Amino acid sequence: MSGRNVRVLARDAAARLRDAACKEKRDLWNEGEATMEATEDRAEALAAAEPLLEVCWSGCLVRDACREWARIDRYTGVAGGEVVHNGKSALAPRRHIKLAS
Ligand code: SF4
């Protein structure tokens, strides 16, 4: 895919995120993703991701578009109801995560 096509797809996907459930939760995202990035402990990363994933799975209307944007933009963090690394699923979606071990 050409760079121009990727930019157009990313812009279109981002435009669909106006109704994002997280749009007023920048601090929560920054804090959670910073903790996830700083740790190498999977349980700690999951614990940090959990509040963000709760937002995603609590009725975000643009989850599919967000996942598409994250894939195109090669996002690392929590997006589309998943933990992603360079746009690819890094952990199972929340509904499949078993936090207690
Ligand atoms: S799926 Fe999650 S990260 Fe994506 S817009 Fe919705 S709340 Fe935000």
Distance 40 CA to ligand 1 centre (A): 24
> What distance in angstroms lies between residue 37's CA and the mean position of ligand 1's atoms?
18
Q: How far is the CA of 82 from the centre of ligand 1 (A)?
A: 9
- Our CA angle for 56, 57, 62, nearest 5°, is 55
Q: What pLDDT is attached to residue 19?
A: 87
What integer pLDDT is reported at residue 17 of this predicted model? 79
Q: Which helix (H) or strand (E) holds 82?
A: strand 82-85
- Count of residues making up the chain: 101
**CA distance linking residue 29 with residue 52, whole number of Å:** 7
Which tens digits make up the pLDDT trace of 67-97?
999 999 999 999 999 999 999 998 754 444 4
Give the residues surrounding ligand 1 with Cβ less than 6 Å away. 17, 20-22, 55-56, 60, 62-63, 66, 78-81
- C-alpha to C-alpha distance for 53 and 9, rounded to whole angstroms: 24
H/E element holding 53? helix 42-56
Question: What are the tens digits of pLDDT across the range 22-59?
Answer: 999 999 999 999 999 999 998 999 999 999 999 999 98
* Ligand 1 closest atom vs CA 55: 7
